[in-house]
Amino acid sequence: MFARLSTYDLTEGRASEAATVFESAIEDIRGLDGFVDGYFLVERDGARAATMTLWESLDTLERSRVSASRARTEAAHQVGASVTSTYEYEVSLHAGAQTAGTRSSS
């Protein structure tokens, strides 16, 4: 699995509006081949945010670049935010929560 992580500086007082706008942006890329999941994260003070999207393969991550860039840039522009970075990663470890049936007993 592969991830794209982008960070943003938000305009003061627009964090809630940004969440709504970025929800729409994630919906735009949800239908792309290989899309697994997406998140919009906002710092508690509302000054910064991040998006993280997960892709099933390097190929689908690469093929999504133009559409993702367009969606991210447009969403940021709508709420007066600026994109401060975008990086792509290979997901080397995933540590989901344990369920009751998977816990080991001592």
Gap between the Cα atoms of 46 and 85, Å rounded:
17
Quick one: pLDDT at residue 96? 86
**Strand blocks (E) in 1-106:** 2-9, 35-42, 48-55, 82-90
CATH class entry, domain 2-91: alpha beta
Strand partners, 38: 53
Do residues 17 and 79 make contact, with C-beta atoms less than 8 angstroms apart? yes
| pTM score, whole prediction | 0.86
Gap between the Cα atoms of 57 and 74, Å rounded:
25
pLDDT tens-digit series, residues 45-95: 989 999 999 999 999 999 999 999 999 999 999 999 999 999 999 999 988
Spell out the domain ranges in the chain.
2-91
pLDDT tens-digit series, residues 82-102: 999 999 999 999 888 887 765
The answer, yes or no, to whether residue 104 has pLDDT greater than 80, is: no
Quick one: pLDDT at residue 98? 81
Positive or negative, the CA dihedral 58, 63, 66, 71 is negative
Gap between the Cα atoms of 40 and 23, Å rounded:
8
